[in-house]
Every structure is written in C-alpha cells, then in structure tokens.
Amino acid sequence: MSTGSSRPFVSGSGGTSGKQRVIVCYNCKGESHMSKQCTKPERKRDAEWFKDKVLLVQAQANGQVLQEEELDFLADPGTVESSSNQTVITTNTAYQADDLDAYDSDCDELNSAKVFLMANLSHYYSDTLAENLTLPAFQDDLILSMIEQLKTQVVTCTKINQDNKHVNNLLTAKLERYKSKERVLNELKHDEKASTSSEHYNTPKLGRSGILGPRHVTS
C-alpha cells in the first residue's frame, strides 16, 4: 500500500531538517494527512510514482533521514490491477484502436520513467529497491494477451479472405460457362439463319400464272 510522506526534502547535517516539513500524502498528493489515512483509491505505478522514488533516494543519499512513511513508500511495490480488471482492460483494448494507442502511450511513459529512475539509482545501489522498481507482471501479461487477440483477428480475416476468394473463383467459373453456352447458342442461331437463307435462294420461282415455265431443251 502506498504511504504518505513529508515534503519538501531538506538536506542537513546528520539528516536534520532546516525547516519544518509539511506532511504530504503520497497517495493523493494532498497535505496534512498520510496515505494510511487517505480515503482515495490507491495510487498506480506511473511516471510520477517513479519520479517520487527518485526524489526520496536522492534525499536519502544527501544524508536526509527519511520518515517512516517515506521509507514505506520506497519499499512499496505499487498498485497491481486485479485479474478481473486485467480482463476488462484486455477486452476493451482488443476491440478499440483508440484505447490501444492510449495504452501504448502509457507504456512508453512508464518505460521512459523507469529508464530515468534506474539512471539516477546507478549511484545508489539497492537490491531491494531495484526489485521493487520492476514493472508489474500484469503489464507484460496484458501486452501478450493483446498480441494473442490480434493474432486471432488476423487468422480470422485471413480465413474470410480465403473464403471470399473461393467464392469469387466459383462465380468466375460459372460466368465462363454461361458465356460458353451463349457463344454456342449464337453459333446455332447463325447457322440456322444461314441455312434458311440458302433454302430460300434455291427454291424455284413460279411464273405469273403460277406454273413453272417450260424448260428449254438444247439439241
């Protein structure tokens, strides 16, 4: 659980403060109360959370004696989402591109803050603190879950495209058969028309009396 702290940091010989500190809640940033007394939701591990850790480590390195709540905050691993919340977040980000972009932005911010923090802590070796600063496991699980869902969507889209291609091939083949039948019918009509014209041309013509004229016999 996040704990409250007193600010500002005032370094002094042997950890003595040069002026009275103001109690500041590390959970909500409010004054005059500690986080143990805070009624607001617990703070999440974000960029500001890491930076506050840096300030405390630097103050401690400068000889300032930290109060109990400040030491508790240094040892605080941060708020980890419950499995039900992970499911909700995963479902939403899988189907909403805007949420996915926002999540990527948050991850970038967290990664930048972590790099900044670890660079500051390179002079103040602390195994316990380094362990506490590890990103929550649910972040990696959430990313892997989204990747798997995206893979599933890709497989589904690929299958749909293959089905559509198969249907298109069937329709194209059927269209070719209809065109072939049409060509055959047109050829039959043309042959029939040509045959009718030929018969009409070869039929003997009658005279005015309706009787065939005499044939001329050559001797």
Token duo for residue 55: 């300030």
Model-wide pTM > 0.75: no
Q: What is the pLDDT of residues 140-160, one digit of tens each?
A: 666 777 777 777 877 888 888
Of 18-32, 80-94, 144-158, 197-211, the least confident: 80-94
* Helix axes of 83-95 and 97-121: crossing angle, nearest 10 degrees: 120
Provide the pLDDT for residue 108.
Answer: 57
Provide the pLDDT for residue 76.
Answer: 67
